Structure 1
Amino acid sequence: MTMKYRSMILLAVAAITLGNAVECPGMDVDVEVLGVDGDAKKNVLAYLRIYQEKDEKDFSLARLKSLHSQAESQIKKGLQPFGFYNVKVQSELRGPEGSRDKWSARYVIEPGQPVVVKSVHFRITGEGAEDPVFSDEFGMKFGEVLVHEKYENAKQHLMSVAAKHGYLDARFEKRRVVVDASDNSASIEIVFNTGPRYRIGEVRILQDLLAPEFVNRYVTFRQGDPYDWDRLRTFQGNLIDSEYFREVEVVALREEAEGGLVPLEVRTRTSRPNKLRFGLGFATDVGPRFTMDWHRRYIGRYGHKLYAEVSLSPVIKKLIGEYRIPLENPVTDYLSMKPEINWYDTPSRDGETYTVELSYSIKQAGWRRTLGLDFRFEDYNIATQSETGNELVPYASWTRVVSDSPIYTSRGYRLKTSFLGAVEGVLSTASYFSSTFHAKLIRSFLEDYRFVTRSDLGVTLAENVDVLPASRRFFAGGDTSIRGYDLEELGPVDSASGRVVGGRYLAVGSVELERRIYGKWSGALFYDVGNAFDPDYSNTITQGAGFGIRWLSPVGLIRLDLAFALSREGCPVRLHLVVGPDL
C-alpha cells in the first residue's frame, strides 16, 4: 500500500472517530415510563439501560438507538418479579424537532393480569420433619400473586429457622416454580430436608483476661443441649453487657462436629479497663447538673468492678463509690460495698449524710431482691430542728420491671417494695420501722394513646416524726411526685413555724393520658394528688394538674409539663422538665 492511500485511510478513520465524538454534543434525552408506578416502576427503571446511561458523557446516538431496541425485553424482565409475565410495551423514540431540542424515549406499558399461584406442593423431610418449629405451610399460598421477593423470603425463612434450631445441614432437595404464562398461573414445589439436629458440644472461650472458672459462669447451657441460637445470642449479649469484652463472636465449628455435637468457639476482644464520662443536664427539681463518673471495668481475675460518681447541682450534691463482686450468676447477682456522701438543700430541709452500705443482690423469677446493711451519719436542719445522728439500718427490697421497650414503653410496669428499720442503742439514736411501696403502670390503646398511672405509699412506725433523721421522713412535691410544686415542698406543717417538717406516712397518686400528635411528639394531660402526712401536725391533701408535651429524642424521652398547683390560692403555674426512661 502506497503512502498516499495509507494517509487517506488514516484521515477517514480520524474523521469517523471525530464524527462519532461530536455526533450529539451535549445530548439530552428524556425517558418516560407510563403504565406502572411504585416499586414496579422503580424496578423497571433499574433494568432499563437507556434510563441508567442517558446522563453519561459519552452517550451517543448509536448507543441511544441500540438501547432503545433492547428496552422492551428489559421492561418485561423488570416486571416479572412482581408477577407480570404477559407485558405489552408500546415504545417510541423521537428526535429533536420544532421547539423541542431533546431526544425523547417513551414507553407505555400494559402489565396485564399478574400470575397467581394455583398450587403449592410443600414437604419437609429429615430429622426435623415433625419439629413444631417448622410451619406446615410454605410462605406462599394458593391464589396469591407470584411475587419473587416473597418466594425468596419464604425460602430464606426456612433456612433461618433451621440454622437457628441446630439443623446446620438443612438444604432444599427440590425448589421449583413453573409459570404458565398462557393462563397466568404458577405451580410451586418445595421439598426441604432439615438434616440432623446438632447439639452443643465443647464451649471454648478465647480470652486471657479472666479466670476460666469465672468466665464459664456465663455459660448457662450444657454439653448435649439442643443447639438453639436464641440461647447463644443471649449468652453473647450477656458477655458484651458485662463490659469485660468489647467484641464477642460465637462461632459454631461445623467442620469439627462429631456424634451430633458441634463445638462452639467464643472469640473475644478485651475492653479498655477504664471508662470516664462527663455530662451536663437540667431538671426542674434540682436545676442545672454536672456529672462525672469513672468506671473500672475489671479488677483481678474474677471480674470485680469499681465505680465512682460526682453529681453537682444547686439542690443536691453527691459523691458515690461502689465496689462490686459478681456471684455465681455474674449476669444478675452481686455483692456490693457502697460509700456515699450527700449534701442537700431543698425547700424543707438541708444537711448532709455520710453512708456506707453493704448489700447482697440477686434476681429470681423476674424479681430483684436486695438485702443490705446501711450505716449512716446525718447532720440536718428541718423547720426549727437542728440535729445530728447516726443509725445502723438493715433493709430488704424487692423490685420487678416489665417493659416492651426501655426507652418508650407501650406496655409495662414497675413494682418496688422495701422494709428497713433501726434499734436505738444499736449504733442508732432512734428506733423505727419503715415500709414503702411504689407502682407504675403504662398501657397503650387505640394505637396513638397511652395511659400512665403511678402510686407511692409509705408508712413508718416511730415514737414521733421528730426522732427520725430528715432523710428518713416522707415529703411530697416535684417532677415525679405531685407536679405544680417544688421538690419536697409538701408535707405536714409545724403550726408554730409554718414550715414543713415531713411525715411518717405517704400517699401519692397520679393519672396521665398521652396522645401521639405527630411522629415522635405527643401531648399529655395529668392529675396528681396526695401528700406526706403525720398525725402530730397539720395535714392537707394536695392536688396538681396540667398538660405537657413528650418528645422521643435521640437521648431518650423528654417530658415537659406545665402544672397548676390546684391547692394553692390562684393556682400558680410551675414548669417541670424530666429526661429519662418511663420505668
Structure 2
Amino acid sequence: TFGTTVYSSYPLTPFLSFGLKYRWRDIHIHVAKRAGRDARKEQRNSGILSAAGPSLAYDSTDSPMKPHRGYRTLLEFEYTGLGGEFEFLKFSTSNNLYTPLWRGGIMKYRFDFAFIEPFGKTKSPFRVPLSERYFQGGDTSVRGYEPYDLGPQFNNGDPTGGISTSVLSLEYLHEVLSFLDVFVFADAGAVSMQRFNLRKYNASYGFGARLELMNKIPFILGMGFPVNPDRKSQIHRFFFSMGGQF
C-alpha cells in the first residue's frame, strides 16, 4: 500500500483547533498461498481509496511529552468515497485525562472508541480493506497481549481486525527520580467485525517503568498479565517501547 495525506489545522482557541484531512491510497493486498480460504478472499479488497473529513482537537494538558494535569481529546469523522473503489464512514474519539493526586503521583485515564460504517460499494464489513480496519493489543493499547491480536481471526489464526473497537485504560504513575517513573495499570480492549457492537473486552493488568535517557527520549518497559485471553497464543507479557505516551 502507498499513498499520500494532506492535513491542515486552524486554532480556534488556545486549547481548541479544527482540522481537515484528505487521504489517497493505492491498496494492494497479497496473501500467501498457504493462508486459508477466508484470508485469500482479502485480495479482492485491493484498489484506490479516496477519503476526506474534519477533526476537532482539544488539549489543556501542561506538557506535550509528560502531562501531569489536563485533558486531551480528538474527534474525527471521515468519508471514504470521493472516487475509488470503496465507500464507508469512519467515526473516532480518543480521550486522555491526567489528574495529580499528590506530589509525584499522577492518575491517567484513557477511553477511545472508533467505528466504521460500510455502505454503497462496500456493503459488507469484510469488504473494508485490512489496512483500514482496527487492530488492538500490545504496548500501545492492551498491554500483556500480542500486538494487534485481539478480536476475530481467520481460519489460519491471523487477526481479521474489525470495524468497531475500543480501548479503556487506567494508570497510576509515580515519579521516583528525575529520569525514572514507575507505574501500575489496568487495560481493556475490544475489536469486532459487527457494526457498532463491542460485546467482549479483553482485559489485563500489570506494572512497569519509564526512563528518560538520551535527550529525554522515554523508554518504557513492563509486564502485563491478561485476565481473559481467548487463547494462549494471545499472551505476550513483556512489553517495551520508545517514545510512547499514555
TM-score normalised over the length of structure 2? 0.82
Higher relative contact order structure (alpha carbons within 8 Å, sequence separation ≥ 6): 2
Residue-by-residue CA offset, 1:33-63 (whole Å, 9 max, x unaligned): xxxxxxxxxxxxxxxxxxxxxxxxxxxxxxx
Paired residue for 1:557?
218
Work out whether residues 100 and 107 of structure 2, in 8 Å CA contact, stay in contact via their aligned partners in 1: yes
Residues 538 and 399 (structure 1 numbering): CA distance in 2 closer, same or farther, change over 3 Å?
A: closer
Cα deviation for residue 428 of structure 1 reads 1.9
Pair 1:364-2:12 in alignment = yes
Residue-by-residue CA offset, 1:392-433 (whole Å, 9 max, x unaligned): 11111122222222332211232111111223xx52212211
Pair 1:466-2:126 in alignment = yes
Paired residue for 1:443?
99
Letter in 2 for 1:412: G
Work out whether residues 143 and 239 of structure 2, in 8 Å CA contact, stay in contact via their aligned partners in 1: yes
Work out whether residues 407 and 581 of structure 1, in 8 Å CA contact, stay in contact via their aligned partners in 2: no
Residues 581 and 482 (structure 1 numbering): CA distance in 2 closer, same or farther, change over 3 Å?
A: closer
Work out whether residues 440 and 453 of structure 1, in 8 Å CA contact, stay in contact via their aligned partners in 2: yes
Cα deviation for residue 484 of structure 1 reads 1.1
Residues 381 and 401 (structure 1 numbering): CA distance in 2 closer, same or farther, change over 3 Å?
A: farther
**Which among 86, 102, 106 is matched to residue 430 of structure 1?**
86
Paired residue for 1:480?
140
Paired residue for 1:379?
28
Residues 407 and 375 (structure 1 numbering): CA distance in 2 closer, same or farther, change over 3 Å?
A: closer
Residue-by-residue CA offset, 1:186-233 (whole Å, 9 max, x unaligned): xxxxxxxxxxxxxxxxxxxxxxxxxxxxxxxxxxxxxxxxxxxxxxxx
Structure 1 or 2, whichever has the larger Rg, is 1
Pair 1:575-2:234 in alignment = no
Work out whether residues 407 and 557 of structure 1, in 8 Å CA contact, stay in contact via their aligned partners in 2: no
Pair 1:455-2:119 in alignment = no
Cα distance in 1 between the residues matched to 2:235 and 2:129: 31
Cα deviation for residue 511 of structure 1 reads 0.4
Work out whether residues 409 and 582 of structure 1, in 8 Å CA contact, stay in contact via their aligned partners in 2: no
CA RMSD between the two structures: 2.6
Residues 391 and 407 (structure 1 numbering): CA distance in 2 closer, same or farther, change over 3 Å?
A: closer
Which structure is higher in strand share? 2
Cα distance in 2 between the residues matched to 1:460 and 1:525: 32
Residue-by-residue CA offset, 1:154-183 (whole Å, 9 max, x unaligned): xxxxxxxxxxxxxxxxxxxxxxxxxxxxxx
Cα distance in 2 between the residues matched to 1:428 and 1:539: 32
Paired residue for 1:355?
3
Residue-by-residue CA offset, 1:496-517 (whole Å, 9 max, x unaligned): 4443211110111010112233
Cα distance in 1 between the residues matched to 2:102 and 2:126: 50
Residue-by-residue CA offset, 1:233-277 (whole Å, 9 max, x unaligned): xxxxxxxxxxxxxxxxxxxxxxxxxxxxxxxxxxxxxxxxxxxxx
Q: How many residues align?
A: 228
Paired residue for 2:35?
none
Work out whether residues 474 and 506 of structure 1, in 8 Å CA contact, stay in contact via their aligned partners in 2: yes
Cα distance in 2 between the residues matched to 1:580 and 1:373: 27
Report the secondary structure of 2:28's partner residue: strand
Work out whether residues 223 and 237 of structure 2, in 8 Å CA contact, stay in contact via their aligned partners in 1: yes
Work out whether residues 511 and 528 of structure 1, in 8 Å CA contact, stay in contact via their aligned partners in 2: yes
Cα distance in 1 between the residues matched to 2:131 and 2:245: 25
Residues 450 and 458 (structure 1 numbering): CA distance in 2 closer, same or farther, change over 3 Å?
A: same
Cα distance in 1 between the residues matched to 2:198 and 2:160: 10
Q: What runs of 5+ residues in structure 2 fail to find an aligned partner?
A: 32-38
Cα deviation for residue 529 of structure 1 reads 0.5
Work out whether residues 444 and 450 of structure 1, in 8 Å CA contact, stay in contact via their aligned partners in 2: yes
Cα deviation for residue 381 of structure 1 reads 4.5
Work out whether residues 359 and 370 of structure 1, in 8 Å CA contact, stay in contact via their aligned partners in 2: yes
Work out whether residues 544 and 564 of structure 1, in 8 Å CA contact, stay in contact via their aligned partners in 2: yes
Paired residue for 1:489?
149
Residues 458 and 572 (structure 1 numbering): CA distance in 2 closer, same or farther, change over 3 Å?
A: closer
Cα distance in 2 between the residues matched to 1:466 and 1:389: 14
Work out whether residues 190 and 198 of structure 2, in 8 Å CA contact, stay in contact via their aligned partners in 1: no
Residue-by-residue CA offset, 1:15-36 (whole Å, 9 max, x unaligned): xxxxxxxxxxxxxxxxxxxxxx
Report the secondary structure of 1:517's partner residue: strand
TM-score normalised over the length of structure 1? 0.36
Cα distance in 1 between the residues matched to 2:98 and 2:30: 38
Pair 1:414-2:75 in alignment = no
Paired residue for 1:511?
170
Cα distance in 2 between the residues matched to 1:549 and 1:471: 32
Which structure is higher in helix share? 1
Aligned-residue sequence identity (percent) comes to 22
Cα deviation for residue 572 of structure 1 reads 4.1
Cα distance in 2 between the residues matched to 1:354 and 1:407: 30
Report the secondary structure of 2:131's partner residue: helix
